[in-house]
């Protein structure tokens, strides 16, 4: 049995219970929530990788090489590099979450 402790408004609790009670059992509900989160993370990574491809092509280097140079201060902090590093860090965070959810 799962005992969630959270500070949640009564209206939110009521809405949550309404959703959970519409499922045959709570296990299915929670599995659907997890599956949805996984799909969102994977979709986010997909679109961020598409965005990053233009930087890889423009600057002729992979994410890994770029990021290593960026965090070591070997390249400047122009706007493109700031955006690229942010996207790459989000991808790394999402991959860590996906690994935890697997």
Determine the pLDDT at residue 3.
Answer: 62
Distances (CA, A) of 19 to 12, 92, 100: 11, 32, 25
Q: Where are the domains of the chain?
A: 37-101
- Give 66's contacts (C-beta < 8 A, 6+ positions apart): 55, 56, 59, 75, 81, 84, 85, 88
Q: Is 56 exposed, middle or buried (0-12, 13-18, 19+ CB in 10 A)?
A: middle
DSSP 65: H
Length of the chain counted residue by residue: 102
Q: What average pLDDT values come out for the chain (102 residues) when binned by 10 residues?
A: 72 88 88 96 98 97 96 96 97 97 92
Determine the pLDDT at residue 7.
Answer: 84
């Amino acid at each position: 049995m799962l005992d969630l402790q959270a500070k949640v408004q009564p209206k939110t609790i009521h809405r949550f219970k309404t959703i959970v009670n519409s499922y045959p059992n709570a296990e299915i509900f929670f599995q659907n929530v997890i599956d949805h989160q996984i799909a969102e993370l994977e979709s986010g990574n997909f679109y961020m990788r598409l965005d990053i491809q233009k930087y890889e092509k423009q600057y002729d280097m992979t994410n890994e090489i770029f990021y290593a140079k960026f965090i070591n201060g070997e390249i400047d902090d122009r706007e493109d590099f700031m955006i690229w590093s942010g996207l790459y860090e989000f991808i790394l965070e999402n991959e860590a979450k996906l690994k935890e959810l697997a």
